[in-house]
A and B are shown apart, each in its own frame.
Chain A
Amino acid sequence: MTAATRDGVILEVRDLVKHFPVGGGLFSGPQAMVRAVNGVSFTIRKGETLGLVGESGCGKTTTGRCILQLERPTSGSVVFEGRDLTTMDAPELRKVRRTIQVIFQDPYSSLNPRMTVGQIVAEPMAVHGLVTDAVKRQARVRELLGRVGLLPQHAARYPHELSGGQRQRVGIARALAMEPSLIVCDEPVSALDVSIQAQIINLLEDLQAEFGLTYLFVAHDLAVVRHISDRVAVMYLGKIVELAPRKELYDEPLHPYTRALLSAVPIPDPELEMRREHIVLKGEVPSPLKPPPGCVFHPRCPVAIDRCSMEVPPLREVKPGHWAACLLA
């Protein structure tokens, strides 16, 4: 065990940067860089759920994909169980990948339509040589399907025969088959109906308790993230602007963007909605091709001062465990 794992840290992301070149012709170089992730650092402890929230284009999904090494980061490190994934070669990575699994947003496009549910769940076990005996593999598939709330006969079905919620259960069974220690959940419930979302969230929590799983829970729904997370990081335009234990973040948000986000979430209670103050942000998220100077949020910030357009506020620990990147926090 290295120093990183001793205090229970399973994943440490340090100064993660991912730029995507865009534009340019066949022979000319890229015209510009999309700064999707622009210096992101955080840790996740074993068994905890870190929520990563933000609006579309903030870099939350790219951060998840960089951890999975589905995107190779431009710079920075991703240290998982003490080893830096960014410097690993392909065979080494393949071994580590078994223990970091992913659940995707869209249960329609993330399952192979030509494979049965049984084949979908069994294939990774065969590929990784986890269960080599075909008969035992079928038994394991049935066990996994049962664990995620499906029936043994679902193994013979094709994805199109299942509902959205059932498909997402298949995706979870496939991830579980690898006996992972970390699962990146990328908007796992946002494509599902409201009544089904709660089923899947409860399932994810049960599995975490049973198998000691660690989750990076990427989502835009602040109420869902509040329910499932131990700590929450808020991203805006490629940066983490606030990171705190769940209760702190929701009860005493320090960053003006977090405050605006929370006030924008409608609450299903007309009386309360009428009394509540809504901070409606002006304008839209600037282009990640050309992030604004200084604090990335200053053009929309209701409390910005002159300094905010010149100085980049560092993510600093304002209170123990509560980090915010705001000059005024």
Chain B
Amino acid sequence: MGTLLSVEGLVTQFITSSGVVRAVDGVTWDVEEGETVALVGESGCGKSVSALSIMRLVAEPAGRIVAGRILFKGRDLLQLSEEGMRRVRGREIGMVFQEPMTSLNPVLTIGRQLTEGLEIHLGMSPTDARARAVELLGLVGIPDAARRLRQYPHQFSGGMRQRMVIAMALACEPSLVLADEPTTALDVTIQAQILELMKSLSRRLGVAMLIITHNLGVVARYADRVNVMYAGRIIERASARELYAHPRHPYTLGLLRSVPRLDEPIRARLDPIEGQPPDLTRLPRGCAFVPRCAFRTDRCIVERPDLRPLNGAEHVAACWEVERVAVGGCPKVAMA
């Protein structure tokens, strides 16, 4: 399988009254065909801005992509004309956003919202588009499709709306779907339904997925590879299995340790990451995680670590102290 999407040295900034926010500060990552890749991190780490940058939907004039390349099937999306980009959005790259109510048009019927893309992108006739829309609702498990197509988004429940958004994202048979917190607004039993649905659809249709989430559990359930972001940079990347079993960056380790888990003995106390995420307008010279890091040394304050390969090229981490993290690190050892 080849590389479908390759983001290289992407820098996206926002100009605000308090200074330049370096939302995405030089990130490089890729998605293989048919693969599910996760971008994980907390609010403000740059994960959503990364996705918006790929779609070239960063709100101008405050926000702009300053540097980097976004190669999709070999073409640099940043060099495309607005017209060319419009053919990529929805046609070749589908999107699923967190809040299904705000990503649907409240004054158009569900049917119209589905058929519009089919008619514009694929040049289908209204009759063919309608037949395809019925098929798509069936695909995402919405029963009684003919009647549902005449309804408006407010007549759908949250879970049904998200199914609908997934149907729209898949409508033109894209090769990549970007899903930004696809289940965060949903209840846990509905979340389970949507996760199962997305997983089975991506397998069946061979669609690659980029999942953006803060939920480590969601990632564990369906990502092949995981990129962990902090303060606009990727600080660790590995296969999901490797990352959860052997986290090598103190931030990844801290995240995994700080959440209570249903499968572990109840702990007397949780182990939070102390302190706050940094101000993106005043990033320190060295590693951005320094003020919160238990492994920090003098070097970390003055010199910023780049991603370096660990055992095998698949696992990379941006930390000077990976060896110490590995020795003292594994969450299960720490708990015992």
Task: Point out residues on A near B: beta carbons under 8 Å.
Answer: 55-56, 163, 165-166, 193-199, 201-202, 205, 220, 222-224, 226-227, 246-247, 250, 260-273, 278, 280-281, 284-285
Alpha-carbon gap, A268 to B261, bound state (A): 8
Report 12 cross-chain contacts, Cβ distance below 8 Å, ordered by A residue: A195-B42, A195-B272, A196-B276, A198-B272, A202-B269, A202-B272, A223-B260, A267-B220, A268-B220, A270-B223, A270-B241, A280-B196
Contact of B262 among A198, A226, A247, A270 (CB under 8 A): A226
B216 at the A interface (CB under 8 A): yes
B130 at the A interface (CB under 8 A): no
Contact of A281 among B193, B215, B218, B220 (CB under 8 A): B193
Contact of B270 among A165, A166, A198 (CB under 8 A): A198
Question: Across the interface, do A196 and B272 meet the contact criterion of CB distance under 8 Å?
Answer: yes
A residues less than 8 Å from B159 (CB atoms): 284
Alpha-carbon gap, A99 to B86, bound state (A): 59
B79 at the A interface (CB under 8 A): no
Question: Across the interface, do A227 and B218 meet the contact criterion of CB distance under 8 Å?
Answer: no
**Shortest distance from the beta carbon of B243 to any chain A beta carbon, whole Å:** 8
Comparing B23-31, B183-191, B296-304, the segment that makes contact with chain A is B183-191
B residues less than 8 Å from A193 (CB atoms): 42-43, 214, 277
B240 at the A interface (CB under 8 A): yes
> Nearest 7 CB-CB pairs, A to B?
A266-B217, A198-B272, A55-B187, A198-B270, A195-B273, A264-B192, A227-B260
**Shortest distance from the beta carbon of A263 to any chain B beta carbon, whole Å:** 8
Alpha-carbon gap, A250 to B263, bound state (A): 10
From B241, B245, B267, B272, residue with most partner A Cβ within 10 Å: B272
Alpha-carbon gap, A246 to B220, bound state (A): 25
Contact with A along B242-268 (1 / 0, CB 8 A): 001100000000111011111100110
Q: Kindly list 20 other residue pairs between chains A and B, CB separation below 8 angstroms, not including A195-B258, A224-B260.
A: A163-B276, A165-B276, A193-B42, A194-B216, A194-B259, A195-B255, A198-B272, A220-B188, A223-B259, A226-B260, A227-B260, A246-B266, A260-B189, A262-B262, A267-B217, A268-B216, A268-B256, A270-B244, A281-B189, A284-B190
B195 at the A interface (CB under 8 A): yes
B residues less than 8 Å from A278 (CB atoms): 192, 196
A residues less than 8 Å from B269 (CB atoms): 202, 205
Closest to B218 in A: A266
Question: Across the interface, do B261 and A194 meet the contact criterion of CB distance under 8 Å?
Answer: no
B residues less than 8 Å from A261 (CB atoms): 188-189
Contact of A269 among B187, B214, B263, B266 (CB under 8 A): B263
A residues less than 8 Å from B193 (CB atoms): 280-281
**Shortest distance from the beta carbon of B242 to any chain A beta carbon, whole Å:** 9
Alpha-carbon gap, A263 to B189, bound state (A): 9
Q: A260-B189, A265-B188 are in contact. Are A226 and B266 (CB under 8 A)?
A: yes
B60 at the A interface (CB under 8 A): no
**Shortest distance from the beta carbon of A163 to any chain B beta carbon, whole Å:** 5
Count the A-B residue pairs with Cβ separation under 8 angstroms: how many?
Answer: 127
Alpha-carbon gap, A226 to B270, bound state (A): 12
B residues less than 8 Å from A272 (CB atoms): 220, 263
Contact with A along B221-234 (1 / 0, CB 8 A): 10100000000000
Closest to A267 in B: B263
Closest to A191 in B: B43
Interface size class, chain B: 35 or more
B residues less than 8 Å from A285 (CB atoms): 187
Question: Across the interface, do A268 and B259 meet the contact criterion of CB distance under 8 Å?
Answer: yes
Question: Across the interface, do B220 and A269 meet the contact criterion of CB distance under 8 Å?
Answer: yes
A residues less than 8 Å from B255 (CB atoms): 194-195
Alpha-carbon gap, A102 to B270, bound state (A): 23
Contact of A55 among B189, B218, B223 (CB under 8 A): B189
Question: Across the interface, do B272 and A266 meet the contact criterion of CB distance under 8 Å?
Answer: no
B residues less than 8 Å from A270 (CB atoms): 220-221, 223, 240-241, 244
Alpha-carbon gap, A198 to B273, bound state (A): 8
Alpha-carbon gap, A205 to B219, bound state (A): 29
B271 at the A interface (CB under 8 A): yes
B105 at the A interface (CB under 8 A): no
B160 at the A interface (CB under 8 A): yes
Question: Across the interface, do A268 and B214 meet the contact criterion of CB distance under 8 Å?
Answer: no
Question: Across the interface, do A194 and B263 meet the contact criterion of CB distance under 8 Å?
Answer: no
Alpha-carbon gap, A235 to B189, bound state (A): 14
Question: Across the interface, do B220 and A199 meet the contact criterion of CB distance under 8 Å?
Answer: no
Contact of A273 among B215, B220, B276 (CB under 8 A): B220
Alpha-carbon gap, A268 to B254, bound state (A): 13
Alpha-carbon gap, A166 to B274, bound state (A): 12
**Shortest distance from the beta carbon of B245 to any chain A beta carbon, whole Å:** 7
B residues less than 8 Å from A202 (CB atoms): 269-270, 272
B residues less than 8 Å from A246 (CB atoms): 266
**Shortest distance from the beta carbon of A240 to any chain B beta carbon, whole Å:** 17
Closest to A282 in B: B193
Alpha-carbon gap, A97 to B47, bound state (A): 43
Question: Across the interface, do B244 and A197 meet the contact criterion of CB distance under 8 Å?
Answer: no
Question: Across the interface, do A194 and B220 meet the contact criterion of CB distance under 8 Å?
Answer: no
B residues less than 8 Å from A281 (CB atoms): 189, 192-193
B residues less than 8 Å from A165 (CB atoms): 276
Question: Across the interface, do A264 and B191 meet the contact criterion of CB distance under 8 Å?
Answer: yes
